[in-house]
Amino acid sequence: MPLVFLCFLLQFSSLLPPSLVAASGGDSIVFTTLGRSVYAFDVFTLPADENRAPSAADETLITDGESVNFNGYFPSSSSSSSIISLLTNQSQSLRPDLELVYVTERNGISRIFYDAIYGGTGFSTRRRSALEIPHRLQIPLLDDEQKNEVRVSFKDRPSLSGDYLVYVSTHEDPGESRTSWAAVYSRSLRSGTTRRLTPYGIADFSPSVSPSGVWTAVASYGEKGWAGEVEELSTDIYIFLTRDGTRRVKVVEHGGWPCWADDSTLYFHRRGDDQWLSIYRAILPSDGEISTDSVIIERLTPPGLHVFTPATSPANKNLIAVASRRPDSSFRHIELFNLVTGEFKELTKVVSPNSHHFNPFISADGTRIGYHKCRGDSNGRKSNTLFLENVRSPVSNLSLFRIDGSFPSFSPAGDRIAFVNFPGLYVIHRDGSNQQKVYPGAAFSTAWDPVREGVVYTSAGPDFAPLSSQVDIISVNVDDDESNIKKLTKNGENNAFPSPSPDGKWIVFRSGRSGYKNLYIMDAVDGENKALHRLTEGQWTDTMCSWSPDGDWIAFASDRHNPGAGSFDLFLIHPNGTGLRKLFQSGSAGRANHPNWSPDGKVLVFTTDNAGISAEPISNPHHYQPYGEIFTIKMDGSDLQRLTHNSYEDGTPTWSPRYISPVNVQNSYDVEPCGFEDCHWLNQKNKAQNEIKPDLTGPRCSP
């Protein structure tokens, strides 16, 4: 079809259906976080006894089963004795049986909580469930809700040193593209004042305070910055004074997750030349200059298994706790490692062999080990998974939801959502009811026709597929009992990311038919047989296109500046092929993907690595692109806003045509909790199997 004819038709597209106009009072964005809806993390504890195998009855759940709770820390008795009276102005005569500091994501915001658990005889009789424990004092140590404005940020790795809480937060924008916002802060629980310990311009992860409280060690890039790593980070280990962040010095080249045995001995993990993650020890000089030259480093754990995320207790210097991935198991377990004998003692494998256990920590007296894992359905608790989880939004009048599904899109009236699960295309009411599977095969990227009711477009075929694979655009009439499925492209040459024009007459999509993935426009009803036009042309990848509500623009992601290098920028182009301009670029080699227009056509939401990485990826289950965060930008390229803060992979955002009240929506269908996978890069045996599922943020998702 000639270009001129196409333009003529497109001029009639500016009459919008009223449902596309945003309801007053605000906007809503829905996005996906890979795996997060089934994490159900809670903190558990086992006795740290080297000489006795634990039994299932020894394992105690110590957090309360709300939301996800993780990365715990047992305060030492010197730290904790004053904390309750400090925080509540009550003198507590009764010492709690157990105290815990941890991160929680309840109410859609990352916060640090302190729990004092009074069990009476609870722990001596080894009660299994927190629900059996009669009394729990729960205090948010960092509660941003108390302030007038909600300061949304990711929090991580809390520890208590005296009256000071030391932790990671991402609340300060470094002002630089593709740079992590993670920094270490210290907050006085007595005065409430907070001090940044990480120098500006630098990101720090995984802080650990020495037993005396004097030193803090971190994993950090220093000045060099994140280079896009998604497996082991190429961080170094730095130490500084916990008091004020001064005397900062690099002590180890290449290492992560430091922990202290005493004020001159550090343990950390590192992936060695033989590719096994192992535990190393660094001994700092007792006098003279501390530097990477004067520190003595020794590898402690052997090749043949991955050992990582070490934890220590000052009470037992011969023993550390670690997480491991052994070649004979696909599960991550907590073990003790005896530094004198070099022997491992498996703990959690005996108790729950088929669960992943993360990020161990040991009590100051050395008797108790903590870790987090998925709580599952144990103890008769129903795991209430959420269909739409309200995530706290940093922007007023914008509600934000994490959906339990991928590639969501809204019906024009905003009352239904299409999404994919792997495999299958689903349609569901916004309240989580009436779920229908409308296409059983592999599918990704969904879009609703703005005019013809009940018509949903998707790309049918394997995601992450190479250029030549069979992927076609189909339309599905989801209200038709006959399951009216129509194939709109015919060659199967990786046709994907359909986005209809506002008048419902045209579909823009990307296709690999020329040998390169470029954008094309075809007839929405009868497909390419009726009319087809090429919109972009070049030996690069243009993909993830989204047609603006006023019909004048198509937003898309492209690697045209450096084809094949894996870096994607956002562009805008008129449907008639004029007006091409770059909308957003993340750093020099960053990623921006999945643009989607606001109902008023003024703002785009997208996913990007612009905020770098927020935590060591090994501290989480598998995320292909753990840097993925959701941002918005005005269509003139101004007013870049970060919406999400976490260490997960957020992607495939979509704008709702109507405002949705910020309230959770429960899944009305059974969803198995705990169905997530450990970091694929820890699978030594079969590397080829490591990359099978789609990621949601970026170009690996069949750009």
**Cβ count within 10 A of residue 539:** 11
Give the number of C-alpha atoms closer than 13 A to the C-alpha of residue 528, restricted to the C-beta side: 22
Please list, in sequence order, all residues whose beta carbon lies within 8 angstroms of the beta carbon of residue 427, skipping any fewer than 6 positions away: 416, 417, 418, 435, 436, 438, 456, 478
The verdict on 188 binding ligand NAG (CB under 6 A) reads no
Does 576 contact ligand NAG by CB under 6 A?
Answer: yes
Cα–Cα distance measured from residue 446 to residue 460, given in angstroms and rounded to the nearest whole number: 10
Among 146, 148, 341, 578, binds ligand NAG (CB under 6 A): 578
Nearest to ligand NAG of 190, 247 (CB atom): 190
Six-digit token string for 141: 């140590």
Asked whether position 661 contacts ligand NAG by CB under 6 A, the answer is: no
**Residues near 364 by beta carbon (within 8 Å), at least 6 away in sequence:** 74, 75, 76, 77, 313, 314, 315
DSSP structure string for 340-363? TT--EEE-HHHH-TTS-EEEEEE-
Q: Which is nearer to ligand NAG, 439 or 547 (CB)?
A: 547
The structure tokens 């002002």 sit at 175
CB of 393 to ligand NAG, least distance (A): 12
**Closest CB to ligand NAG among residues 503, 552:** 552
Query: What binding mask, one character per residue, do residues 66-105 give for ligand NAG by CB under 6 A, x or -?
Result: ---------------------xxx----------------
Contacts of 273 (CB under 8 A, 6+ apart): none
Binding mask 547-566 for ligand NAG (x = CB under 6 A): -----x--------------
Cβ closest to ligand NAG, residue 329 vs residue 576: 576
Q: Round the CA-based radius of gyration of the chain to a whole number and report it.
A: 26
User: Nearest distance from residue 577's CB to ligand NAG, in Å?
Assistant: 8
Residue 7 Cβ, how far from ligand NAG at the closest point, in Å? 5
Strand order through the sheet with 256-262: 256-262, 265-271, 277-283, 296-299
Cα separations in angstroms, 460 against 150, 210, 475, 481, 496: 41, 54, 10, 20, 8
Site for ligand NAG in 235-294 (CB under 6 A): none
Cβ nearer to ligand NAG, comparing 504 with 590: 504
**Contact call for residue 51 and ligand NAG (CB under 6 A):** no
Concatenating the DSSP letter of every residue in 364-427 gives TTSSEEEEEEE-TTGGG-----EEEEEE--SSTTEEEEEESSEEEEE-TTSSEEEEE-SS-EEE
CA distance 508 to 510: 7
Least distance to ligand NAG, CB of residue 671, Å: 33
Near ligand NAG by CB under 6 A: residue from 21, 25, 132, 253: 25
Q: Is 574 an interacting residue with respect to ligand NAG (CB under 6 A)?
A: yes
C-alpha span between 448 and 411 (Å, rounded): 6
Part in contact with ligand NAG (CB under 6 A); list of ranges 18-26, 64-72, 370-378, 419-427:
18-26
Q: How many residues bind ligand NAG (CB under 6 A)?
A: 12
Query: What character string, x for contact with ligand NAG (CB under 6 A) and - otherwise, covers 394-433?
Result: ---x------------------------------------
Task: Choose which of 17, 26, 35, 47 interacts with ligand NAG (CB under 6 A).
Answer: 26
Among the residue ranges 19-27, 373-381, 457-465, 650-658, the one whose residues contact ligand NAG (CB under 6 A): 19-27
List residues near ligand NAG by CB under 6 A. Answer: 7, 24-26, 87-89, 397, 552, 574, 576, 578
